[in-house]
Amino acid sequence: AVSSAQDFDFFYFVQQWPGSYCDTRKSCCYPTTGKPEADFGIHGLWPNYKSGAYPSNCDPDSPYQSSTINDLIESLQREWPTLSCPSSDGNQFWEHEWEKHGTCSESVLDQHAYFQATLDLKNKINLLQILNDAGIKPDGGYYSVSSIKDAISKATGFTPWIECNVDEGRNRQLYQVYMCVDTSATNLIECPVFPRGKCSDQIEFPPF
């Protein structure tokens, strides 16, 4: 389908902490390529409206084609690992993200550009380093959401959103970090709207 104007207002660039994906009741499965690094991984780059709503599955005529991103596969395996079960090599996760979200920004980014831009964002924002420099480490300790947000805001210049989930013991923990990006997928911006969802004042940063 041909879409004339870009039909979204900004992107959420979402990274996940693998320790928090894996220590839940549901647990996780490592990719067939091996246990990922103890680092934040990409979840996705999601077109969004400033109303808070978002488009999805915009173009059934643009299926995921791994052959168009052969040169990116090694980087994707390292920076965008899949942790869902059963184990897979990542293509299912990238396919899902392309078809659900990537097809909604096709007017600006073709498939290769979409994955390349997302990898570039990951390389520009080293969350683990930023948190580590602020004394916030994946050591199973508890940290205030405000201290986590302050560290990221000071280092990047932009306010993130923190999504929590719960571990097997029902403790709230640092699960995902949302940053907002302009429609060219290159520059961070202040979020026009934040997602919803509850954390607590202090959240766990579990090891992976």
Q: Which residues bind ligand 5GP (CB under 6 A)?
A: 12, 16, 21, 43-44, 46, 48, 54, 82-84, 93, 96-97, 100, 145, 149, 161-162, 164, 195, 197-199
Smallest gap from Cβ 188 to ligand 5GP, in A, equals 16
- With respect to ligand 5GP, which residue has the nearer C-beta, 12 or 143? 12
Beta bridge partners of 176: 16, 163
Smallest gap from Cβ 94 to ligand 5GP, in A, equals 9
Contact between 72 and 116 under an 8 Å Cβ cutoff? The reply is yes
- With respect to ligand 5GP, which residue has the nearer C-beta, 96 or 112? 96
- With respect to ligand 5GP, which residue has the nearer C-beta, 72 or 98? 98
Percentages helix, strand, coil for the chain (3-state, rounded to 5) are: 30, 20, 50
Catalytic: which of 79, 99, 101, 106? 101
Structure tokens at 75: 């980087």
Catalytic: which of 97, 99, 163, 204? 97
- With respect to ligand 5GP, which residue has the nearer C-beta, 15 or 72? 15
Active site residue 97: yes
DSSP 156-201: HSS--EEEEEE-TT--EEEEEEEEEE-TTSSSEE--SS-------S
Active site residue 99: no
List, in order, residues 6 or more apart from 93 with CB less than 8 Å away. Answer: 80, 82, 84
Which residues carry out catalysis?
43, 97, 101
